Amino acid sequence: MVTAVTADGSPWEPQFIRAVDSSECIGCGRCYKVCGRDVFELIENEDDDGDDDYSDDVRMVMTVSHAGDCIGCGACERVCPRNCHQH
């Protein structure tokens, strides 16, 4: 755990990103847009639903690509409509 201080000296604990729950993500891109540290990447996620019609089996989901760049601001979690982010 890291404890930092804000500009006025108040204690503040960064909430560093660990993962995005791809089973909940709808690929809306809100977390990508709000993150100022370029931590996320939108990728294709293949859903094998068992039918062999090859339709709608690929969807876009967010993933954490540069976790080491996260400063723990928590903005991604606040804008996500599906509560996908794990910190």
Chain positions contacting ligand SF4, by CB under 6 A: 17, 20, 25-31, 34-35, 37, 39, 62, 70-76, 79-82, 84
Min dist CB 8 to ligand SF4, Å, is: 20
Residue 11 pairs with which residues in a beta bridge? 5
Q: CA–CA separation, 58 vs 38, rounded Å? A: 24
Quick one: 49 or 81, whose CB is closer to ligand SF4?
81
Quick one: 57 or 77, whose CB is closer to ligand SF4?
77
AA identity, residue 44:
E
Min dist CB 47 to ligand SF4, Å, is: 15
Q: CA–CA separation, 1 vs 3, rounded Å? A: 7
Computed over its alpha carbons, how large is the radius of gyration of the chain? 16
